[in-house]
């Protein structure tokens, strides 16, 4: 496909998204209707769409509207290009620009690229660093890998990835992390990935998991999902790791991932969990707004509403209340979110401690996209001794 045809495909996908279709569904529908498109074409169309979702407000202002076409015009202007070079009407490229489209728009304030109501919430986290944070949200996030140190060291993993065409390098100050510098789209077909020597995992998550002093004994990942945190914990300590999720179907990938990594993680449904007694540590990696990961998932920021945030806060508080009785006296309750908002983080911890007697906050930390790859909060609470 020509660059113009790829842009026209992105316009089709964006029109469906603006009309309310989830972006992944819109991309799949387009790919099914465009069997001629190769993997490079599909990747380029996806990149256009995601770049626009990250900077939707800027693209709309520079392109003069919220249609797929206007957003694509705005993207080219934002990137310093001339839209007329691709909007030619030749072949499968978008039609040539009208007089009004040629006139262009003006660059808005950087605050246009997140929902306005979230600005005070983000500012409360980063203070005077709001402009750099919003700038980071407009850029693509680097890809990070967690090296499975039980199986291989950092130099060995870099060499193994290089053999399959993926270039990566260690990250200063992070024991397990590699940042991928080229070939990211090949990772899942690499031998090093398929053999469990490396896992895809954001830097901020790796820093949080490695920064916690996990107790010896039994650790429960109470909201395990696909098991990213459970696998990182199993790699970081010698304790027995168990996994539970209210929706057990979400744990379907966990057994093959654990086998690949060479660790044992037992999944527990509700009945099995009830027979297990208490744990030395229970992790609650709760559902959240994802506001720390908006550059990886820019659709999420446009979907979030104040009502949805309030609902998430209720779910988070309920999960903490459910999980706390599973911690043995003197054990740890670990709370994690990929949110930057105080309401989902410090305020949840403060509310829990005000309602449950004798719990102590042992540790808290919050990375932002300015300090690591993504925003990620963690808190360790110590249960009262019996």
Ligand X SMILES: C[S@@+](CC[C@H](N)C(=O)[O-])C[C@H]1O[C@@H](n2cnc3c(N)ncnc32)[C@H](O)[C@@H]1O
72 binds ligand X (CB under 6 A): no
In the chain, count H helices and then E strands: 17, 11
Q: Which is nearer to ligand X, 74 or 227 (CB)?
A: 227
CB 361 within 8 A of CB 349: yes
Give one DSSP letter per residue of 27-68, joined into a string: HHHHHHH-TT--HHHHHHHHHHHHHHHHTHHHHHHHHTSSSH
3-state secondary structure 61-103: HHHCCCCHHHHHHHHHHHCCCCHHHCCCCCCCCCCCCCHHHHH
> How many residues touch ligand X (CB under 6 A)?
18
Q: Interface with ligand X by CB under 6 A: which range of 13-21, 37-45, 112-120, 240-248?
A: 240-248
Candidates 122, 319, 366, 381: give the one binding ligand X (CB under 6 A): 319
Between 42 and 250, CB nearer to ligand X: 250
* Residue 313 touches ligand X, criterion: CB under 6 A: no
Q: Looking at 101, 113, 245, 367, which residue binds ligand X (CB under 6 A)?
A: 245
Which of 277, 263, 268, 267 minimizes the C-alpha distance to 233? 263
Residue 334: strand pairing partners: 283, 380
* Paired residues of 265 in beta bridges: 241
Does 265 participate in binding ligand X (rule CB under 6 A)? Answer: no
CA distance 297 to 293: 6
41 among the known binding-site residues?
no
CB of 317 to ligand X, least distance (A): 11
Q: Which of 99, 247, 277, 354 binds ligand X (CB under 6 A)?
A: 247
Interaction between residue 51 and ligand X (CB under 6 A): no
**Residues between 215 and 234 that touch ligand X (CB under 6 A):** 222-229
CB of 321 closer than 8 Å to CB of 290: no
**Is 245 known as a binding-site position?**
yes
Q: Which residue's CB is nearer to ligand X, number 42 or number 260?
A: 260
Q: Which residues are catalytic?
A: 338
Residues near ligand X, by CB under 6 A: 222-229, 245-247, 250, 285-287, 315, 319, 322
Please state the residue numbers annotated as binding site for S-adenosyl-L-methionine.
245, 269, 285
């Amino acid at each position: 496909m020509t660059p113009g045809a790829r842009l026209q495909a992105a316009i089709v996908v964006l029109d469906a998204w603006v009309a309310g279709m989830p972006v992944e569904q819109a991309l799949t529908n387009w790919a099914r209707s465009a069997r001629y498109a190769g993997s490079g074409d599909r990747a380029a169309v996806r990149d256009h769409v995601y770049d626009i979702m990250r900077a939707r407000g800027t693209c709309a202002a520079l392109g003069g509207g919220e249609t797929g076409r206007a957003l694509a015009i705005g993207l080219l202007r934002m990137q310093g290009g001339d839209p007329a070079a691709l909007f030619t009407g030749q072949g499968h490229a978008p039609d040539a620009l009208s007089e009004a489209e040629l006139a262009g728009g003006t660059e808005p304030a950087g605050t246009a690229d997140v929902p306005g109501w979230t600005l005070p919430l983000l500012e409360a986290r980063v203070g005077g660093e709001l402009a750099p944070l919003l700038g980071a949200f407009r850029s693509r996030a680097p890809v990070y890998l967690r090296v499975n140190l039980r199986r291989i060291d950092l130099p060995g993993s870099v060499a193994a990835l290089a053999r399959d065409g993926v270039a990566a390098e260690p990250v200063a100050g992070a024991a397990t992390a590699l940042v991928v510098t080229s070939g990211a789209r090949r990772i899942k077909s690499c031998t090093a990935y398929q053999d469990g020597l490396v896992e895809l995992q954001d830097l901020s998550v790796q820093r949080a998991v490695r920064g916690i002093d996990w107790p010896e004994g039994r650790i429960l990942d109470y909201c395990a999902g696909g098991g990213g945190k459970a696998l990182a914990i199993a790699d970081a300590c010698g304790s027995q790791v168990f996994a539970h999720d209210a929706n057990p179907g979400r744990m379907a990938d966990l057994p093959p991932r654990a086998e690949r990594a060479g660790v044992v993680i037992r999944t527990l449904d509700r009945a099995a969990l009830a027979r297990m007694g208490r744990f030395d540590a229970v992790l609650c990696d709760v559902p959240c707004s994802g506001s720390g990961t908006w550059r990886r998932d820019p659709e999420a920021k446009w979907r979030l509403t104040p009502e949805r945030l309030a609902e998430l806060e209720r779910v988070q508080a309920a999960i903490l209340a459910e999980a706390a009785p599973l911690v043995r006296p003197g054990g740890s309750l670990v709370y994690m979110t990929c949110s930057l908002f105080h309401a989902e983080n410090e305020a949840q911890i403060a509310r829990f401690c005000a309602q449950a007697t004798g719990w102590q906050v042992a540790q808290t930390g919050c990375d932002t996209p300015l300090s690591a790859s993504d925003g990620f909060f963690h808190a360790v609470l110590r249960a009262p001794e019996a």
